[in-house]
């Protein structure tokens, strides 16, 4: 459904160009959920905006069902939005506080001219039922809803034009932990009922492991590893991925005490900092001399498991070295 080839994007700050996304390539199959994980500021939301044509790309290609999004005219992009919708992180800031729930969900139906006025009102009730709310919510305003209810309204609004592809940009990050599980399960149910395809952006690897089929690991604007979830969590290849997985806490105090995590030095580089080699080199416990001045190409180190790391290109890591302390983690 989605194919991204050598995607690059830049921002201009004080007249100077900075590459925020560099040579990103991946694909998403129909009906699949792909997780996109990484630290804040690594470019996850920028990828989402590029996929929807909200910001221009510098080079590369983005194809939706074989059609180039980056070459679409305004009318074509308008029609694309029926098939591609986005759910934002903040359910408080992504709705109009002066509109009722009914008006919020009606808006995309009116914009895309879907159905008659009567059919649209019936569609609103169907969508509310689909996200486990009832029609009594129609007359309520956003300030009268809890965070979980508000996010369900946002999901209903995104589903209104009957999209094929949903980008979920950290949709549970602003919610209480008890509500997060309900929303995650709702995403699962909706995918089964409607055959949706997801790009699920998150910094919570436990959530991504549960929800996604495969995961993209991002660092400083680049995809450094991709694999199916079972493979990635069992055999993380990139040192950064291993550190991310080791950071997931174990819900057992005794096991947690026994864990040995690899050290992580320094801070992540600024998104505006231009780095010639591997961006993780300054913090990597397994750094090679070549890492500082040459970014590693992406290679298939294991079947259907790609990684960008000089350790594998140099053949310096054996199969046994791939298993790190994360094997204690029941996740």
Q: Please check whether residues 208 and 225 belong to one and the same domain.
A: no
Phi, psi of 311 (to 5 degrees): -60, -35
What is the pLDDT, as a whole number, of residue 260?
A: 73
Q: Name residue, tokens 């750094």.
A: 287
Query: At which of 212, 247, 262 does a domain end?
Result: 212
Q: Please check whether residues 151 and 8 belong to one and the same domain.
A: yes
CA pair distance 108, 125, nearest whole angstrom = 14
Q: Please check whether residues 98 and 149 belong to one and the same domain.
A: yes
Q: Please check whether residues 244 and 106 belong to one and the same domain.
A: no
What is the pLDDT, as a whole number, of residue 263?
A: 64
Q: Please check whether residues 236 and 264 belong to one and the same domain.
A: yes
What is the pLDDT, as a whole number, of residue 265?
A: 73
CA pair distance 132, 163, nearest whole angstrom = 19
What is the pLDDT, as a whole number, of residue 324?
A: 41
Question: What's the domain range around 39?
Answer: 2-212
Helix (H, G, I), strand (E, B) or coil at 56: coil
For residue 44, what are its two tokens? 């996850």
Q: Please check whether residues 200 and 92 belong to one and the same domain.
A: yes
CA pair distance 60, 264, nearest whole angstrom = 33
Domains of the chain: total = 2
Pairing of strands 222-228, 305-307: antiparallel
- E strands of the chain, at which residues? 2-13, 16-28, 33-37, 59-64, 67-68, 84-87, 165-169, 197-202, 214-219, 222-228, 299-302, 305-307
Q: Which of 161, 159, 104 is nearest to 130 (CA)?
A: 159
Other C-beta atoms within 10 Å of 257: how many? 8
Q: What is the value of pTM for the model shown?
A: 0.87
Query: At which of 169, 188, 212 does a domain end?
Result: 212
Q: Please check whether residues 145 and 289 belong to one and the same domain.
A: no
Q: Please check whether residues 67 and 128 belong to one and the same domain.
A: yes
Q: Please check whether residues 166 and 182 belong to one and the same domain.
A: yes
Q: Please check whether residues 24 and 135 belong to one and the same domain.
A: yes
Cβ contact 231:295 at 8 Å: no
Other C-beta atoms within 10 Å of 304: how many? 10
Query: How far does Cα 152 stand from its chain's mean position?
Result: 19
Cβ contact 202:101 at 8 Å: no
Query: At which of 184, 212, 240 does a domain end?
Result: 212
> Could you give the residue ranges of the DSSP H alpha helices within 84-218?
101-111, 117-130, 147-159, 177-194, 205-211
CA pair distance 220, 216, nearest whole angstrom = 13
Cβ contact 256:80 at 8 Å: no
Q: Name residue, tokens 């002066």.
A: 98
Phi, psi of 165 (to 5 degrees): -130, 130
Q: Please check whether residues 20 and 58 belong to one and the same domain.
A: yes
Q: Please check whether residues 293 and 192 belong to one and the same domain.
A: no
CA pair distance 244, 239, nearest whole angstrom = 9
Q: b/e per residue, 100-136, with b = 16+ CB within 10 A?
A: bbbbbbbebbeeeeeeeeeebbebbbebbebbebeee
pLDDT tens digits, the chain, 331 residues: what are they?
Answer: 999 999 999 888 788 888 889 889 999 999 999 999 988 888 899 999 999 988 888 899 999 999 999 888 888 888 888 999 999 888 888 899 999 999 999 999 999 999 999 999 999 999 999 999 998 999 999 999 998 899 999 999 999 999 999 999 999 887 888 888 899 999 999 999 999 999 999 988 888 999 999 999 999 889 999 999 999 989 999 999 988 888 777 777 777 777 776 667 777 777 777 788 888 888 888 888 888 888 888 888 888 899 999 888 755 444 434 444 343 333 3
Residue 198 is part of a domain; what is its CATH number? Answer: 3.40.50.300
């Amino acid at each position: 459904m989605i194919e991204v080839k050598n995607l690059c994007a830049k921002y201009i700050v004080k007249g100077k160009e900075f590459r925020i996304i560099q040579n990103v390539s991946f694909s998403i199959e129909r009906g699949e959920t792909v997780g996109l994980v990484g630290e804040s500021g690594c470019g996850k939301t920028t990828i989402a905006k590029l996929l929807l044509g909200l910001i221009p790309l510098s080079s590369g290609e983005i194809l939706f069902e074989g059609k180039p999004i980056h070459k679409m005219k305004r009318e074509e992009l308008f029609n694309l939005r029926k098939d591609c919708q986005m759910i934002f992180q903040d359910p408080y800031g992504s709705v109009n506080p002066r509109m009722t729930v009914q008006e919020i969900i009606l808006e995309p139906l009116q914009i895309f001219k879907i159905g008659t006025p009567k059919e649209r009102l019936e569609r609103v009730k169907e969508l509310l039922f689909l996200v486990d709310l009832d029609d009594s919510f129609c007359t309520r305003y956003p300030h009268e809803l809890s965070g979980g209810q508000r996010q369900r309204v946002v999901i209903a609004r995104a589903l209104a034009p009957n999209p094929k592809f949903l980008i979920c940009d950290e949709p549970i990050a602003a919610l209480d932990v008890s509500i997060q599980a309900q929303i995650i399960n709702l995403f699962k149910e909706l995918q089964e009922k409607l055959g949706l395809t997801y790009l699920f952006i998150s910094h919570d690897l436990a959530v991504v492991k549960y929800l996604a089929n495969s995961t993209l690991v991002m660092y400083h604007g680049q995809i450094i590893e991709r694999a199916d979830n079972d493979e990635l969590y069992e055999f993380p290849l990139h040192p950064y991925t291993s550190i991310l997985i080791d950071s997931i806490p174990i819900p057992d105090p005794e096991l947690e005490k026994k864990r040995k995590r690899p050290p992580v030095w320094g801070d992540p580089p600024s998104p505006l900092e231009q780095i010639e080699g591997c961006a993780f080199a300054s913090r990597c416990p397994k750094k090679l001399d070549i890492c500082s001045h040459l970014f590693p190409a992406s290679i298939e180190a294991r079947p259907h498991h790609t990684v960008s790391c000089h350790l594998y290109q140099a053949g310096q890591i054996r199969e046994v070295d791939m298993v790190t302390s994360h094997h204690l983690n029941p996740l």
